[in-house]
């Protein structure tokens, strides 16, 4: 029973580890898609402003401001994509750290269990350390899920904030 619980906890740690890898890859591709969509929107707005102006648009201050805003937005999208990529990498390494911590606690538990059963013959002490180990597995799974959720929420918030910032600056003129 104890070995089944330990194997199940290790399996759950590995599965959440790979789930964080897949989610980081998925949301990184989603941020690349949002970046290309923002470049498309900035080029479209630039073309729309150039076709509606009465003079030649490249020599007006409005067109220069639109180009600056489009380049500024593209640079912000690049920074957003890079920062989200590093955020997903950090959540991935965080889940690796929690998984290695659970393995380390498992080794500590096995050593204490061996000492308790074979030398001290105190059974309730081994059960106590098993509960501590299972609690550490639960905390590692919970913290890895929390890091995934935080990376998703931060990326969505940055995308919405930069989109609102772009459209509020582009509609001022």
Per domain, the residue ranges of the chain are: 2-170
Cβ burial of 23 (10 Å; 0-12, 13-18, 19+) is middle
pLDDT the model gives residue 126: 55
Q: Going residue by residue through the chain (173 aa), what tens digit of pLDDT does each one get?
A: 555 655 666 666 566 656 666 666 666 666 666 666 666 666 666 666 655 554 444 444 555 556 556 666 666 566 555 555 565 565 556 656 666 666 666 666 666 666 665 665 555 555 666 666 666 666 666 666 666 666 666 666 666 666 666 666 655 54
Those residues whose C-beta lies under 8 Å from the C-beta of residue 111, and which sit 6 or more positions away, are none
Report how far residue 72's alpha carbon sits from residue 11's, in angstroms, rounded to the nearest whole number. Answer: 46
pLDDT the model gives residue 147: 62
State the DSSP code for 55: S
Cα Rg for the chain, rounded, in angstroms? Answer: 26
pTM exceeds 0.75: no
Cβ burial of 141 (10 Å; 0-12, 13-18, 19+) is buried
Q: Is 49 helix (H, G, I), strand (E, B) or coil?
A: helix
User: How big is the CA angle at 4 (ends 126 and 138), to the nearest 5 degrees?
Assistant: 70
pLDDT the model gives residue 122: 53
């Amino acid at each position: 029973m104890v070995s089944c619980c330990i194997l199940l906890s290790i399996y759950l740690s590995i599965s959440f580890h790979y789930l964080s890898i897949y989610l980081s890859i998925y949301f990184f591709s989603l941020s690349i898609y949002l970046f290309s969509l923002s470049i498309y929107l900035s080029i479209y707005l630039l073309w729309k402003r150039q076709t509606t102006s009465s003079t030649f648009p490249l020599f007006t201050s409005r067109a220069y401001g639109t180009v600056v805003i489009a380049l500024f937005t593209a640079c912000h999208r690049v920074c957003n994509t890079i920062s989200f990529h590093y955020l997903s990498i950090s959540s991935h390494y965080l889940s690796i750290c929690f998984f290695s911590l659970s393995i380390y606690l498992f080794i500590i538990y096995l050593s204490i269990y061996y000492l308790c059963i074979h030398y001290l013959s105190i059974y309730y002490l081994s059960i106590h350390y098993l509960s501590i180990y299972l609690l550490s597995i639960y905390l590692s799974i919970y913290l890895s899920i929390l890091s995934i959720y935080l990376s998703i929420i931060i990326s969505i918030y940055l995308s919405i904030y930069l989109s609102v910032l772009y459209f509020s600056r582009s509609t001022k003129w």
